[in-house]
Every structure is written in C-alpha cells, then in structure tokens.
Amino acid sequence: MKQHPPKKVRSDLNPSRLLTFKIDDRDVTAHEDETILSVARQNNIIIPTLCHLDGLSERGACRLCIVEVRGSTKLLPACVTFPRQDMEIITNSKRVINYRKKILELLFTERNHVCSVCVANGHCELQNLAVELGVDHVRYPYLYPRHDVDASHSRFCIDHNRCVLCLRCVRVCDEIEGAHTWDIMGRGMTSKVITDLNQPWGTSETCTGCGKCVQVCPTGALTEKGKSVAEMSKRRQFLPYLQMMRGRQGGSWQK
C-alpha cells in the first residue's frame, strides 16, 4: 500500500518548518509534515476516525475526520491534510458534525451490523462512534445485503456482514506483516476484502496466521474463533512498536 501523503524525511538539509495555526480557536504549533489529525490529538482535541489507525498508512477514505477551514467551504479530511501557517481549523462545527453523523449512518445501512449478537459488542469502533456522535437511530433505510462468513481458517473467522471496508487488515498485512494476504476486490458496494486470490482464508498459502488483521479490525468482522457475544476485545498496542522496530518509514522499507 502506498503512503499518502508522502512523508518528507527530516534532515539537516531538509529541516521541517514549524507552523502556528488554530484548531477550534486554540493556538497550536506543529511541524509542517504533521497532519491536522495528529496535531489535534496531541492537543486533546478529538476528531472521530475510522479508517485511520496509528501505525498504518493513511487512506482518507472513511471521511469521518473531515474538518472545516475558516474562509473555505471545502471540507478537508484531517488524517491526510497538512496544516498551513495561520490556518483556522474548526473540528466541531454543526456542519461537520451533521455530515459525520450521516456518513456513519450510511455505514450502518451498508451491511448487517447487529450489535446485540456481535462478538465485538462493547469493543467495536463503529458502535463507539455511534455513541460519540450521538447517533441513536439511522435515518436511511437499511440495505440488508447478503454476505458470507468465511470460517475456514483454523483460528480466525471473517464475517463480511460486519466489514466497513476500512482496509486496515489489508494495510497491516502488507505494511507490517509483509505478507499481503489481504486485498480488496470488486467495486463500489460490491467491494469485498479477500485473502489471496479470493480463496477461502484457511487455504491461503501466504497467510502467516499472525492475527494482526484481527487485532486491527475496528468491528467484529475479523475475529478469533471461540469468542462469544461481546467477548472479542482487540489489542493494538503492538502496532507503533512493530512499525518502529521494522524500520518502516515513509511508506517504503528502509534497506
């Protein structure tokens, strides 16, 4: 997976500038190569995210982290946007909050998210986002697509009904584990994450069985076998550490 936006290597020859700007009327200082999201988090300003995960490349696809910039009607995804000097960023205007709610509601309608019977109930980022954004019902009609469950792997299971297509599994498998077992096929609503060339996970020859995909999955789509309702909690603390130890920087292996 390619790293976007590209990270500049900071060096004496290529020093990064310090910028001062505002997030929610608070004065902040940051390097020019830090994203708005990361600066906001350092300053305890919460911007909801779903496809973003510290330690993986950015995708800018879930659109939940959109923020407003004063003087512009364009909304920018905080996870892939770099600040400019004197920029005034608004992370919690009515407008962006409304849009975020609608996007989240669309996600709920897309597949069959039944929290009450889900193994990840209580440990699910999608569920938590609904609480965080105050989504207490979904205004759009549910689409009820038919999706499969692949339980062919000896230890893990994927339930496509609960997948939000954040592609964290694809990224962690490629960028951290280096196996690239996961990928995505299809287009639009018919997109689907697959193992190898769309063959049962249990028959995959590239899967190392490391289980990183399961840990990074925000919902109950990727789970360990043997877990019952609300038992599937996830551990992700290994990720930034692994990334550092494996020397990956700027989206390419440092040789």
Chain residues binding other proteins by CB under 8 A are: 2, 4-6, 59-63, 66, 75, 77, 80-81, 99, 102-103, 106-110, 112, 114-118, 121-122, 127-128, 130-131, 134, 136-146, 165, 184, 186-191
**Smallest gap, in angstroms, from Cβ of residue 129 to other proteins?**
10
Residue 31's H or E segment, with its range, is strand 26-31
**Smallest gap, in angstroms, from Cβ of residue 150 to other proteins?**
17
- Choice between 154 and 187, CB closer to other proteins: 187
Give the C-alpha separation, 152 to 220, whole Å.
Answer: 17
- Choice between 74 and 245, CB closer to other proteins: 74
**Smallest gap, in angstroms, from Cβ of residue 143 to other proteins?**
7
Calculate ∠ Cα 77-137-116, nearest 5°: 100
- What's the residue count for the chain? 255
- Choice between 134 and 247, CB closer to other proteins: 134
Report CA 148 to chain centroid distance, whole Å: 22
Q: Are strands 75-77 and 66-69 parallel, antiparallel or unpaired?
A: antiparallel
Both tokens of 196, joined, read 């190898």
- CB count within 10 Å of CB 27 equals 9
- Choice between 114 and 244, CB closer to other proteins: 114
**Smallest gap, in angstroms, from Cβ of residue 95 to other proteins?**
9
